[in-house]
Amino acid sequence: MHGKQSDDSPALTELRERLAEGLARARLNQTQLAKQAELGRTTVSEALSPTKPVPSAETVAALAHVLRLPVRELLELRRTAAEESGTVTPGGPGRPIGQWDPHDLEVHPAGPLRAQVCAP
C-alpha cells in the first residue's frame, strides 16, 4: 500500500479540498491547471488525489498561485500534513548524511577497484 493515504490527516484533507474548490471556481480542468502552473499533468493529479502522498511545497505554491488561493495558508496546511504523515520531522526533512550507511544509499566506488601496487 505504498503511497496510499487512506487516513489522510485533517490538514491534508483540507488542503486538497481547498485546491479542488479553487479548481472548480477557476473553471479549469487538471490539464489546463497543469499547463498554467507549468507542472506535469501527473503532478497536478497526484496533488489532488486522496490516495497519493503530501504534494511538495513547490507544487502547492504553483497551484495556489494559478488558482488565486492564499499561498501561505496552503503551505502551512501542507507543512502540517507532512508532519502528521511522518514524511518530515519538525527539524527538517531527512537526517544528516553521517547517519546513513553507504549500503542504504546504494553508494559504491565510481570505477572498478584496483589493487594498489607498491614498488619494493
Q: What does the pLDDT look like over 70-86, one tens digit per residue?
A: 999 999 999 999 888 76
Q: Torsions phi, psi of 110, nearest 5? A: -70, -30
Average pLDDT score over residue span 84-111: 66
Q: Is the distance from CB of 54 to CB of 85 less than 8 angstroms?
A: yes
Task: Return the C-alpha cell found at 25.
Answer: 471556481
Q: Which cell goes with 32?
A: 489546463
**Per CATH, which fold does 10-84 belong to?**
434 Repressor (Amino-terminal Domain) (1.10.260)
pLDDT above 70: residue 114: no
Q: How many CB atoms lie within 10 A of CB 57?
A: 14
What are the residue boundaries of the structural domains of the chain, listed by start? 10-84
